[in-house]
Amino acid sequence: GIGVTGILNSDSVWVNDLPYVIDTNLTLDLNTTLTIQPSVIVKMTAGAKFLINGHLLAQGDPDQRVIFTSLKDDSVGGDTNGDGITSAPAVGDWESIRFATASGDSSLDYVTLRYGGSNKDTGALYLDNSTPSLGHLAVLGSKYRGLYLQGAANPVLENAIFAANSIGVYNGQLASLTIRQSDFYSNTQFGLYNANPLTTIEATDNWWGADSGPQHASNPAGKGDTVNDQVNFNPWQLNP
């Protein structure tokens, strides 16, 4: 793989070659743009974090997604850590991709994150007072939270997938989220959790893992992923 660590402070383009390996911590500096081309594989070492202070433009397409995954994940990009079948990827192998306040012009489209979310207080994808453009996002296999929003984060998500996380999406106390035409399934605690008492999340026209809709007291027949209060989920999709 192509190892990257420390501070990235010059405009760069990551191309479809060997997997890029983020070793421990990588920071994209202020006023710096990193463009990630379709089909690029980025693997994260144990506990690794990627902090975005500049502009991250990760632009996949339907047939060539950009993938952030565990260094132990041999299913994409090959056996990057060179240990054969000795290690296997697992939930929480790495920590987070964090978009800080200055990263507002960033964009992710057709991007998959898997096996992250090792910090119970953040998420595999962490919008920290920031609202990058998010299209066709998939967050899978996070140990705690898939997507975590805090501060003034207020994204609109469409065509996203949150699956096999503990909590698919956690909307923090000051954040606001709109999500539609997306899929939530096999998230073990909540598909969507709203911790902002002043905002009702608009989450209609989503699939919750069952045609009966999400589990909530107001939907007693619901067999899908659980939502808490102040989530407007009705109507929902009957299939993915």
Residue 182 parent element (H or E): none
Q: pLDDT confidence of 104, banded at 50, 70, 90? A: confident
**Mean pLDDT across the stretch 103-120?**
96
* pLDDT tens figures, 25-62: 999 999 999 999 999 999 999 999 999 999 999 999 99
With CA atoms as reference, report the closest residue to 226 among 181, 179, 191: 191
* pLDDT tens figures, 56-70: 999 999 999 999 999
**Mean pLDDT across the stretch 86-99?**
98
Using DSSP's 3-state secondary structure scheme, residue 37 falls into: coil
- In this prediction, residue 180 carries a pLDDT of 98
pTM assigned to the model: 0.97
Which residues have a Cβ under 8 Å from the Cβ of 34 and sit 6 or more positions away?
Answer: 8, 11, 12, 13, 14, 28, 54, 55, 56, 57
Q: What average pLDDT does the structure give for the chain? A: 97
Q: Look at residue 177 and tell me whether its pLDDT is greater than 90.
A: yes
- In this prediction, residue 134 carries a pLDDT of 98
Q: pLDDT confidence of 199, banded at 50, 70, 90? A: very high
Q: What is the DSSP string of 44-74?
A: E-TT-EEEESSEEEEE-BTTB-EEEEETT-T
Q: How many residues does the chain have?
A: 240
Using DSSP's 3-state secondary structure scheme, residue 202 falls into: strand
Give 171's DSSP letter: E
